[in-house]
Each structure stands twice: as structure tokens, then as C-alpha cells.
Amino acid sequence: MGDMGFVGTRGRVVAAGAVALLLAGCGGGGGDGDGKAAALDKGQVASVLPDAKAVPGWRNHMKPEAQKPVPDYPPTVCVARTKEQRDTACTPVTSWGVSAFVRKADATTLNFWTLAYKDEKAADAAYDVLIKWYGGDRVGRNAEKVEIGSPGAEREANRAAVGTMAGPATIAQIRVGTTVLGISTGTTGKVAVPDKEVKAFAAMFAERAQQAQNGEKPSAALPSS
């Protein structure tokens, strides 16, 4: 799914394990809940990313971490086809971050990423560019829509039967105010993460982004099983 990776905060360090995990959910191939739309700083972006308490039952592989973009090295989760599109979606990013999880013997993965912008207009423009990369059949051939309700102002989710881990994979993208959120899942097995779980991830993540933009400490979490 392109050159997705993770640039560490200590210079241009690429964490190979993190790259593999983020790729795992990807294939080969305001509005509702928006409310206030405040710009988020690096610390707030980190707080939006789900931690182990927010997704019980999953083992935290990458703790929530945010950083500011390095000049000439746009966020690795910000992928676009052309320079013009990168200038729209990636150059304006003010902070970004990721967190990632795994569970079960089939190495099911769950990844979250957040891209923050100075205002809602910039986030809206970025969403339109990024969905051209993350949407449709980007998750894998013959991808189908996943119903995730109506989190945020804009949203889309798709699942393919075969992703980069050889099993079912999903990618969801959501815009909440000044942020664009991404969620991916993947597995080496044959059982997809159910639609209802993807929907729950999306609702929880969008709520955390909204809480941060409301000036609150994000607390939204999935219920314990």
C-alpha cells in the first residue's frame, strides 16, 4: 500500500517493525459529530490516539506517539499520487501520530493514525486527496464497503478478502474537524475483523478526536469484553 512507515522522533529513524505493522492492515491493490473544530498540538494528537485502555483485548505493539513533520519528509501515513496532491494533504500537516495493536494467534493487527491540520478547511481538502489513496479497492482487489455509521463529518471504510497479510483487511478514513483519522486491520488468518468492531473502532476514535477539539482529555474507549 505504498511507502507507509514510521519516522521516529529521534531524527530520520525508521522502525522496521512499525512499518510492517502499519502495512499489515493495507492491501496490494463540519458534519455529524464535528462540533467545535480547534487545531490540535502535538500533545493533543498523541492523546487522540487510542492506548491499551481504549481497546481492551488487544496487545499494544506501538504506544501512542505524535510528532511534527520533518521538512522534506512528510508523514509516512500521508500518501498521495502527485506533488500537487502531497502539497494539499501532507505539507500542511501540523502534527501526526500512530498507535498499533495485535491479538490472537493469526496475528490480527489494528492500527490507528491521526493527521492534524491548522483548520477545518485544510483537513477537508486533505481528506479528499487521501481518500483517493486509502479508499475504494486500495485495501485489496474487489474491496467492498463496510458500514461504519456516521462518525465525524466525512468517512469511508472498505474491506478486501485478501490484503498484504494474505487474509482479510480493512481501511477506514474519517474526518473530524481539523483532523483526518485512519484505521486499518489485517490478518494472516481467514477471519475478518467484523463490521461491528470496525464501526466501534471508528466511533471511539472519532469521539476521542472530538473530545480533544473540545478542549477535553480524550477518554472514549471500547467496553471491556
The string of pLDDT tens digits covering residues 76-132 is 999 998 999 999 999 999 999 999 999 987 789 999 999 999 999 999 999 999 999
Give the separation between CA 68 and CA 218, rounded to whole angstroms. Answer: 20
Q: Tell me the pTM.
A: 0.86
Q: Answer whether 44's CB lies under 8 Å from 179's CB.
A: no
Q: Answer whether 98's CB lies under 8 Å from 62's CB.
A: yes
pLDDT score of 10: 27
Confidence at 21, pLDDT banded by 50, 70, 90:
very low
Residue 57 CB coordination number (10 Å): 13
Whether 47 has a pLDDT exceeding 60, the answer reads yes
Question: pLDDT tens for residues 165-176?
Answer: 999 999 999 999
Confidence at 65, pLDDT banded by 50, 70, 90:
very high
Residue 155 cell numbers, joined: 468517512
Give the separation between CA 20 and CA 23, rounded to whole angstroms. Answer: 5
Q: Higher-confidence residue: 140 or 13?
A: 140
Cα 149–chain centre separation: 17
For the chain, percent of residues with pLDDT exceeding 90: 77
Residue 156: which H helix or E strand, with range?
A: strand 154-160
pLDDT score of 73: 85
pLDDT score of 18: 40
Question: pLDDT tens for residues 186-223?
Answer: 999 999 999 999 999 999 999 999 999 999 999 999 99
